[in-house]
Structures are given as structure tokens and as C-alpha cells.
Structure 1
Amino acid sequence: MRILSVVGARPNFVKVAPIARALAARPDRFEHRLVHTGQHYDGRMSDAFFADLNLPDPDYHLGVGSGSHAHQTAAVMLGLEPVLEAVAPDVVLVVGDVNSTLAAALTAKKLGIAVAHVEAGLRSGDMTMPEEINRRCVDAISDILFTTDRLADENLARENPPGRIVRVGNVMIDTLLDQLPAASGLDMPTRLGLPAKGYGVLTLHRPANVENRDILADLLDAVRAGADGLPVVFPIHPRTRGRIEAFGLADRLSDDPHGPGLFATEPLGYREFLGLIHGARVVMTDSGGLQEETTVLGVPCVTLRETTERPITVLEGGNRIAGVAPLAVRAAIAEALDRRAEPRRPALWDGHAAQRIADVFCELYPS
């Protein structure tokens, strides 16, 4: 069986890595090819992830780079079509909800190639989020819908998509559990001169939070105030750093982990960042994947968004949806610091999701 996986952004790499290993373990059954669209093209944020995750070099690199949503989606479709025609895969596997995911699913489906979507059924209900549009469109045309949890199953059951719904668990947690020993061995708190459980971590990258000066300034100030003297490490996404500098907000940042402000660092590799959040007392983020990772690690999480497509992390984990209003953010951080979270693993978040995906492919495409 010939499977072609398409990745384009850092969360995709984390999710496809265990799938690539599971398929490679059965060379008599699978021929796996990997396409990197280049949607994330910064070497610090792309190449480093491939190295940390032991992902093989991509068989194809489309090099689409940055641009508007329309530009990225169109560029991936134009670059991927000749690859699909040359490889003629039985299935195109897409992960997550980025523009590369949508573009690959559309291109494959129009060529009559089956599409398998990993992380199907996640819904925030917020159609102003580009990711929500992407994930709904991909699920509507996918042939196999691999889900992470029961709530995703319920979302798809209501929508009645044409594809087969199979709950396999969370491949991102496969990677976390595989990499956690190496990440812990880095001892990131000590490297930064901070005590374990004696600091917070902040990430911000969503356009709704970083492209508006007032919202960005309010969030930075609210996090500093809510942390109430607790050091906050802030590995900064390149786009976010650019906005902070353009908006004249650089005075909110510090190069001293013990001083006032947010301790700004360059983007970190996967293992470094995993080690950082594992040792944190609280994580504040607008990322989707971090809500899942902190649930399994038992680190309280404050989500700086109005909605989440991962409500299982609220129901079964230590995630709080704070929104972006300063007083609500400060209150959510204070609550997170006051309450202890426990490591939780929702059903099938056990490190074997990728193996289940390989098993499903064997079942659906017998030799």
C-alpha cells in the first residue's frame, strides 16, 4: 500500500512522526512517502523539528513559504498535483488543520485519490478561525476520519460525513511519550537558571492575538500581572516578535529570566520546548496542541482564546479558557496557580495511536 503524507507546519511534524515509524515497521505492507509543503520555512522552526523527531528527510519539498491563505493554499495545490500524479498513492494522509492540510485534501480528492484525515472531528464552533474552516472542509471530503476522542466522534456523527470514523487516540501524545525521557534529560529549568515548577511559559502566535496592537499589549500586560512575580519564559514565534517590535512593545520583554517582564527566547526545538513546559508551573498559550500536551503532563494551562476545538482538555484536564480580556486572563492565571493539576490521559491517549492507524490501513487495504 502506497501512502503519501503531507505536512507543512510544526504541529504536523509532531503528529506524522509516529505514523511514519509505524508504517516503516511494516515494509512488506507499506510504502510511505513524505511531502513537506514548506508552509513553515524558518529552519529554526522546521528543520530542527525534523531532527528532534527523527523524521526522515522529505521525499518532496514544495517550498511554498509564507503568504495569504489563498496564496498558500493555491501554491500547495499547484506544487502537489504533479507529485500525486507521479507517485499515484493509494491514500493521501493529512494531519491537523493548517492550509497545507486543506490544499492536500482538495488536490487528492479531485484526482480520485482517497484521503485520510488525522485529528478529524475537532470543532471550536468559531468560523472566524481559518483552522476551523480548514478542518470542516477536510472532514467533509475525507474517506477515513481518524479521531482523538469521544467528543470528536460526536461532532462527526452530527455532521454525517461520508468517510469512515475511527477513533485511534492522539498521535501528538505518541510523540510526547516517546520524547519525554530525552526532553527531561535536557533539564531545561536548570539551563535557564530557574527552579522546576518555579516559572511559567507563554506562547502567542495566532493572528487574532498578535496582529492587533491593543490586544497584544493587553495580553502581554495581563500575563505579567497575573503571574504576580513568577518568571515567565516566552519563546517567541518570528511573526509575534515582528509585531511586538513594530508596535513598540519591546519594553514588555526581558533578557533576564529573573528580572521584570517576560523572558524572551528564540524559538526552541521540540525536545527543548517539551522539557520547558514539563518543568513549568503554568502554561499560557493560544496553541491547540499545548492544551493536549499540558493535560497529559499535568501542567495547568490557560488558553488565551474565546473557544477551543479541544474541549476534552477542559473536561478531563487542567485547561482553562480565559479569552483575551485582561481581567479574565489575570483571574484565570491566578486560579491556575492556586490549583494543582494532575496528569490525565483521555481514553486511547496511550502512545499507540499511530499503531492503530497502521492497523486500520491493513484492514481496509488487505494485501
Structure 2
Amino acid sequence: MKVLTVVGARPQFIKAAAVSNVIRKHHTEILVHTGQHYDENMSKVFFDELNIPKPDYNLEVGSGSHGRQTGMMLIKLEEIYEKEKPDFVLVYGDTNSTLAGALCASKLLIPVAHVEAGLRSFNRDMPEEQNRVLTDHLSNLLFVPTESAVENLKKEGITKGVYNVGDVMFDAVLNFKKLAENKNQIIKEIGLQGKEYILTTIHRAENTNHIDRLKNIVEALNECNKAVILPLHPRTKKYMTDYGLKFNENIKVIEPVGYLEMINLEMNSEKIVTDSGGVQKEAFFMKKPCITMRDETEWVETVKNGWNVVVGTDKEKILDSIVNFVPNKDQKDIFGDGNASGKILEILDK
């Protein structure tokens, strides 16, 4: 069997590290990197440290509008699909790379398998929500991470080809956690100890591209009276400059980090403040309280389980949660058993 995998952004590299390793033991995999994340710190380092096979194709699409990015991917992917003639196209998550990979395959009548299907924030203003909904409706096999994802698909009339395999990012954390334990150089350089800092990430367009939202986040972090480590996304850095916003000295701004360093920063943090979907889950895996700076989340189980609180970009809510949010002591096993990749392979084989 020949599987063609399309990736283009950091979370997809992590998921592919788990799944590709299993697929390649039994079948042929063609790996296509769209180049949606083109910064070396955002892309190449992930392939290197996670030992992901070198991409067979790199489309080098780079940044641009949604239409331009997706259109360029479609043109280039079509040529590759027609040349490689895969049995399946495998896509991950909710990026433009995901949608382009699925749409191009569907037009060519190549079966599509979607890993992390069925998630819904129910906010159609989010490009990610549009991408994941459209991809699900194009897919033949839908590998979902949670029971609520199964229910979301059922409400949209999708019941065939749906498999709750668990979360492949849980696989990745279990696989790489031991390696990450020694990646504590950043904490040492900053001069902090474990559980002495808040770990923060800010990257979503809904926050970075609106001055009021980003200003509220920056002011909350500046006033929280806590040490904050912030790996700064290139887009956030650009808008900080454009808006004339500055961080106080309690914010330790660093360059984007690799996956193992990020896992280490999460493991040693007191709390995590983020607008990332993947980091919300990783906080849950690490048993760290998570404060989500969005108006909704697709990872509703983390909220229902009492380990995640959604605060939007309300300055006072962010500040209050940093100080006072305490998670439930008990944590339910809601993301599977850490063998999602193996289950995906079994289903592809069948």
C-alpha cells in the first residue's frame, strides 16, 4: 500500500512523527511538506529532532493569503498525486495544507483519511473551523480523537468510516517525553526553576490581527506579577511592532522552540496560557492548568474535565485565572490509550 501524507505546520509534523513511524514499518509512504510554515525554527528543527523522514516533496508555498496559499498547493499537489498514484492521501488537523490535500485528492477520486477529524469550535469565522468541516465532508476515513468528535460528525450526517482511535498527539508525548526531560537549557539560561513561571503562546490570527485583543493579552501578562516564558511566533512579533506594543521585564521572550524544548517548558511550568489547540491538549497530558485565550475551544473535554478554562481576551479574566484557577485533582482518560497510530494502521490495512 502507498500512502501519501501531506503536512505543512508544526502540529502536523508532531502527529506525522508518530503515525509515519508506524506506517513505514509495513507500507510505502510519500511525505509532502507544503511549506506553509517556512521559518527554519518553525519547521526544519521539527523534522530534525523528531527524526521525521525527509520530505519527498517540498512545495515551498510560504506565507500569503488563504486563497493564494490553498490555490498554489492545489496546483502542485495535483501534479504529485498524478505522478505517485497513492492508495490513500493522509491529512492532519485543520490548516490550509489539510484542506488542499483533501480537496485535491477528492477531485482525483483518491480516498482521503483525516487524522483529528470531528473537532468543532462552532465558530465559522475561524479559518481552521472552515478547513476542518470541509475536510471531514471530503474524507472517506475519519480518525477522531474523542467521543464528542464522533457526536459532532453524527450531527452533520457523517457516520460511515468514522473511527475513534484516540489522539495521536498523546502518542507523540508518550514517545518523546523521556527525550524532552533533558531539554532544560532555556530555563537555566533565563535563571528560573521549575514551576516558577507561566508558559505562554500567542499565535492565532483572531488575536494577533486585532489590536484590542492583542493589547488585552499583553497588558494581562505584563500585570500578572509572574515570570512568563513566551516563545514568540513570527506573526505575533510583527503585529506587536505594528501596534507599538511592548512586554514588561517579567516576560521572557524567546525564539520559537523545537518540540522537545516545548515539551520540557510545559513539563516544568506552573500554568500554561495559550490560544493554541495543540498546547491545550499538551497541558492536559502534562497535568498543567490551562488558560485558553479564545472565545471557544474545540477541546471541550479538557474544559469539562476541569483542567482548562476559556477566558477569551478579557484582561481581568486572564489575570484572575493566572492567579486563582485550580484544576480538578482527578483527571479522566479522554484521549485514548496512546496507541492511536497503531489503530490507524490497522484500519488502513483493512
- Tell me the equivalent position of 2:54: 57
Offset at residue 99 of structure 1 (A): 0.4
- Tell me the equivalent position of 1:201: 199
Q: Which residue, 94, 98, 107 being the options, matches 2:104? A: 107
Matched residues in 2 for 1:343 and 1:358: separation?
32
Matched, 1:11 2:11: yes
Offset at residue 141 of structure 1 (A): 1.2
Offset at residue 348 of structure 1 (A): 4.9
User: Residue 3 of structure 2 contacts residue 28 of structure 2 at CA under 8 Å; is this kept in 1?
Assistant: yes
User: Residue 153 of structure 2 contacts residue 159 of structure 2 at CA under 8 Å; is this kept in 1?
Assistant: no
Offset at residue 41 of structure 1 (A): 0.4
Indicate the larger mover: 110-119 or 184-193. Answer: 184-193
- Tell me the equivalent position of 2:278: 289
Matched residues in 2 for 1:172 and 1:51: separation?
18
Matched residues in 1 for 2:140 and 2:310: separation?
32
Matched residues in 1 for 2:204 and 2:238: separation?
13
Give 1:112-131 correspondences, 5 Å limit: 112-131=109-128
Matched residues in 1 for 2:12 and 2:105: separation?
18
Matched, 1:249 2:238: no
User: Residue 38 of structure 1 contacts residue 63 of structure 1 at CA under 8 Å; is this kept in 2?
Assistant: yes
**Does the residue aligned with 2:294 lie in a helix, a strand or coil?**
coil
Matched, 1:180 2:169: no
CA-to-aligned-CA distance 1:235-283 (integer Å, 9 cap, x gap): 1001111111121113x15xxxxxx331100111111111011100011
- Tell me the equivalent position of 1:306: 295
TM-score of the aligned structures, taking structure 2 as reference length: 0.96
Q: Quickly say closer, same or farther: Cα 1:236–1:160, change in 2 above 3 A.
A: same
Matched residues in 1 for 2:196 and 2:190: separation?
11
Q: Quickly say closer, same or farther: Cα 1:105–1:217, change in 2 above 3 A.
A: same
Q: CA RMSD in A?
A: 1.4
**Does the residue aligned with 1:185 lie in a helix, a strand or coil?**
coil
Q: Which residue, 269, 272, 283 being the options, matches 1:280? A: 269
Give 1:143-292 correspondences, 5 Å limit: 143-161=140-158, 163-188=160-185, 189-225=187-223, 227=224, 229-250=225-246, 252-253=247-248, 260-292=249-281
**Does the residue aligned with 1:124 lie in a helix, a strand or coil?**
coil
User: Residue 183 of structure 2 contacts residue 261 of structure 2 at CA under 8 Å; is this kept in 1?
Assistant: yes
The answer for unaligned runs of 5 or more in structure 1 is: 254-259
Matched, 1:75 2:62: no
Offset at residue 345 of structure 1 (A): 5.8
Query: Identity of aligned pairs, percent?
Result: 40
Offset at residue 295 of structure 1 (A): 0.5
Offset at residue 342 of structure 1 (A): 5.1
Matched, 1:39 2:59: no
Indicate the larger mover: 203-212 or 155-164. Answer: 155-164
Letter in 2 for 1:170: D
Matched residues in 2 for 1:16 and 1:335: separation?
37
How many equivalent pairs are there?
349
